[in-house]
Structure 1
Amino acid sequence: MIINLIFLIANLIMAAMFTSMLYFMVKARRDGINIGITVGLLLISIGNLLYFVAQAVS
């Protein structure tokens, strides 16, 4: 029960990070900030999404 709660909190944190990364990605593109930052945030977002999916499957 407690372990499931910890996983739930971890998943919520990952989901929040994922959405914030997408927000900053769009903001960076709109403001014309360095494209490398956008690519880096995209990779982090993909990594978080994969982690999210892996935990849902396991």
Structure 2
Amino acid sequence: MRATDVLADPLVEVTAVLLTVPIVELYALLWRAGVLEVRLPASKRRPAEVPALRPVG
């Protein structure tokens, strides 16, 4: 039996679908308000391997 053959609990599935949009909107609101801070993971390359960006023209 494959994992896709197993159906999720209908109550859990409906609850997840109903809460997905409000949770995403709440996250966006908190991010814009400055409550949350989003950080990108640090680069694992050494500084010599990171290409230098130069302005064009």
TM-score by length of 1: 0.39
For CA contacts below 8 A with separation 6 or more, give which structure has more relative contact order.
Answer: 1
Higher normalized helix content (fraction of residues): 1
TM-score calculated relative to the size of structure 2: 0.39
